[in-house]
């Protein structure tokens, strides 16, 4: 696969920034809002946004079960912030009944929503990222953190004593927003994962 076709879930959140970052990283990038669009991509990015709203919209657009099946079948995926929450196998503080964030089970991990605090507690920090030579400038906005990882889950980066970047097989997740900086190394890593280079 020379140029992978990578979708960005375009139900809610910062879709445009991820589409641009993926194109800069060498992929053909396309928004995904319906099943036919999900079926047409090699991989999927789940952007930041609001995880309970995204879960609700996944149900409304009849994408929840098909997306779970694609992940189970080994489709590569990358989730940033809310995307990390949704890719978890367990979500703590998932939201109110009927409006919960729904785990997709892409990575065997337990994630706590809004773990670093509310919007006013947002922050930026340089973190070491395994496999990259220089630190990544990470933007955390109402960010989650990982409280537990299962066997086979690789922790790639940490902040405040908690895992904030993880990988399990073809699935990658960060608690921060690399699409908001000019650094495309994490998107390039994901493109390389999709093509089997890394």
By annotation, the residues acting in catalysis are 81, 177, 179
- Rounded distance, CA 28 to CA 144, Å? 29
Q: How far apart are CA 20 and CA 7, in angstroms?
A: 12
Which residues touch 197 (CB under 8 Å, ≥6 apart)?
none
Q: Determine if residue 49 is labeled as part of a ligand binding site.
A: yes
Q: Is 51 annotated as a binding residue?
A: yes
Q: Report whether 35 contacts 69 (CB < 8 A).
A: no
The reply to whether 142 sits in an annotated binding site is: yes
Helical ranges in the chain per DSSP H: 15-24, 35-39, 51-60, 64-72, 82-87, 185-195
> How buried is residue 147: exposed, middle or buried, by Cβ count under 10 Å (0-12/13-18/19+)?
middle
Q: How far apart are the first and last CA of the chain?
A: 13
Cα 54 from Cα 51, distance rounded (Å): 5
Q: Are 177 and 139 in contact, with CB atoms under 8 Å apart?
A: yes
Tell me the β-bridge partners of 157. Answer: 165
Which residues carry a binding-site annotation? 49-51, 113, 141-142
Which residues carry a binding-site annotation for L-glutamine? 49-51, 113, 141-142
């Amino acid at each position: 696969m020379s140029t992978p076709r990578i979708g960005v879930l375009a139900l809610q959140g910062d879709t445009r920034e991820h589409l641009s970052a993926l194109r800069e990283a060498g992929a053909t990038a396309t928004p995904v809002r319906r099943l036919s669009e999900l079926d047409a991509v090699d991989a999927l990015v789940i952007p930041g946004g609001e995880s309970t709203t995204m879960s609700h919209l996944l149900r409304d657009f009849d994408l929840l079960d098909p997306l779970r099946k694609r992940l189970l079948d080994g489709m590569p995926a990358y989730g940033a912030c809310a995307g990390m929450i949704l890719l978890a196998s367990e979500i703590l503080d998932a939201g109110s009944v009927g409006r919960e964030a729904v785990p997709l089970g892409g990575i065997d991990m337990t994630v706590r929503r809004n773990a670093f605090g509310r919007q006013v507690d947002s922050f930026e920090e340089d973190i070491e990222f395994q496999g990259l030579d220089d630190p990544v400038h990470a933007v955390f906005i109402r960010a989650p953190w990982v409280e537990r990882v299962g066997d086979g889950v690789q922790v790639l980066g940490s902040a405040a004593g908690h895992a904030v970047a993880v990988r399990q097989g073809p699935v990658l997740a960060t608690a921060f927003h690399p699409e908001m900086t000019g650094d495309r190394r994490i998107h390039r890593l994901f493109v390389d994962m999709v093509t089997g280079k890394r």
